[in-house]
């Protein structure tokens, strides 16, 4: 008579459940970094899509379908929606690296996927935002400046081409020169691509905010909007050059978020939060511009400190009594 082992079958079933049940949350956790990277990529794609919607005359301005005035101030046009989508892409870009370290899933595949998403969201999409903004305002620029409006378009197009090319070079160089885990890095070699995109986005958001105002002081908003549009082309060009430069830029997350700071830093965070609420557009431009200028400023300070060191050593040297 054959013997059966029901207890052995039950043990096998229990063992299968024991080994299979933890795999599902592990699989979900391991997919989170790639999901965040794809969220970054999709935000860049939809930013470009809203740029296409902006150049259609019938869809130039969003209808006031939301009674909340503050939301309309943030999202007055499709260009503004695209700009804020790129800010969401930056959040996804900041999350994917942290999620990869948390899940212990840092890999070459993740690094390459992240660079591809960054080329779209922080390389192509900001350049398309600038060109869309210039194109949509081209009739007003031509009315105010005449034939010079074409030069504004050409300068912006040249800056956009340089910016996209330098962004791709910057990301490829970062992948080739850096290790998978940069949690201990304190500086970047060259302006990071998301920071360059933030500088462009800040100008776009400020422009879209200004064109909805009646006046700024005693000067019409058309004048200030025109000034911003003339600054966009040279700014985009300079940002591209800074990305491929070897200037040192501080890794903000590793230098200020991970490291310990005294409680007095909370006061500065509170001041920044208040300024960002009441003067968001101007505060964003100042913050992004300060970070862009920090690289050249660090070089100047280091050179000045290096030139002062021999004089200080000579002054501190003991005087010979003889």
DSSP annotation string for 155-223 = HHHHHHHHHHHHHHHHHHHHHHHS-S--TT--EEES--HHHHHHHHHHHHHHHHHHTTSSEETTEEHHH
pLDDT score of 136 more than 50? yes
Residues 274-313 pLDDT 10s: 666 667 788 899 899 999 998 888 888 887 776 555 544 4
Helix spans in 211-279 (H): 221-243, 252, 265-278
Supply 264's token pair. 């007095």
Residue 240's pLDDT is what? Answer: 95
Residues 55-114 pLDDT 10s: 876 544 554 444 445 556 667 788 999 999 999 999 999 888 777 777 666 677 878 888
Mean pLDDT of the chain: 77
Q: Where are the domains of the chain?
A: 31-305
Q: Sorting pLDDT into bands at 50, 70 and 90, what band is 183?
A: low
pLDDT score of 5 more than 70? no
Other Cβ atoms less than 10 A from the Cβ of 233: the count is 22
Among 43-47, 110-114, 158-162, 277-281, which stretch is predicted with the lowest mean pLDDT? 277-281
């Amino acid at each position: 008579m054959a013997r059966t082992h029901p207890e052995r079958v039950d043990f096998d079933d229990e063992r299968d459940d024991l080994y299979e049940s933890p795999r599902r949350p592990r699989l979900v956790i391991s997919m989170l970094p790639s999901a965040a990277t794809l969220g970054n990529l999709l935000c860049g794609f939809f930013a470009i899509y809203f740029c296409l919607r902006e150049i259609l005359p019938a869809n130039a301005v969003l209808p006031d379908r939301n009674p909340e005035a503050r939301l309309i101030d943030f999202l007055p046009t499709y260009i503004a929606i695209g700009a804020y989508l790129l800010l969401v892409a930056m959040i996804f870009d900041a999350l994917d690296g942290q999620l990869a370290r948390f899940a212990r899933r840092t890999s070459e595949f993740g690094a390459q996927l992240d660079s591809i998403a960054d080329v779209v969201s922080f390389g192509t999409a900001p350049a398309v935002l600038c060109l869309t903004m210039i194109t949509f305002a081209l009739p007003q620029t031509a009315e105010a400046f005449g034939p010079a409006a074409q030069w504004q378009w050409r300068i912006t197009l040249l800056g956009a081409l340089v910016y996209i090319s330098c962004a791709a070079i910057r990301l490829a160089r970062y992948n080739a020169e850096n290790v998978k885990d940069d949690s201990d890095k304190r500086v970047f070699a060259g302006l990071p691509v998301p920071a360059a995109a933030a500088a462009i986005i800040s100008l776009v958001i400020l422009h879209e905010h200004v064109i909805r105002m009646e006046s700024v002081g005693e000067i019409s908003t058309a004048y200030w909007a025109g000034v911003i549009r003339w600054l966009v082309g040279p700014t985009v060009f300079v940002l591209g050059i800074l990305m491929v430069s070897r200037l040192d830029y501080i890794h903000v997350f590793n230098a200020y978020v991970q490291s310990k700071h005294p409680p007095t830093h909370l006061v500065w965070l509170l001041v920044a939060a208040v300024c960002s609420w009441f003067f968001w557009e101007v505060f964003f431009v100042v913050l992004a511009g300060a970070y862009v200028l920090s690289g050249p400023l660090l070089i100047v300070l280091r050179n000045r400190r290096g030139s002062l060191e021999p004089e200080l050593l000579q002054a501190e040297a003991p005087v010979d009594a003889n």
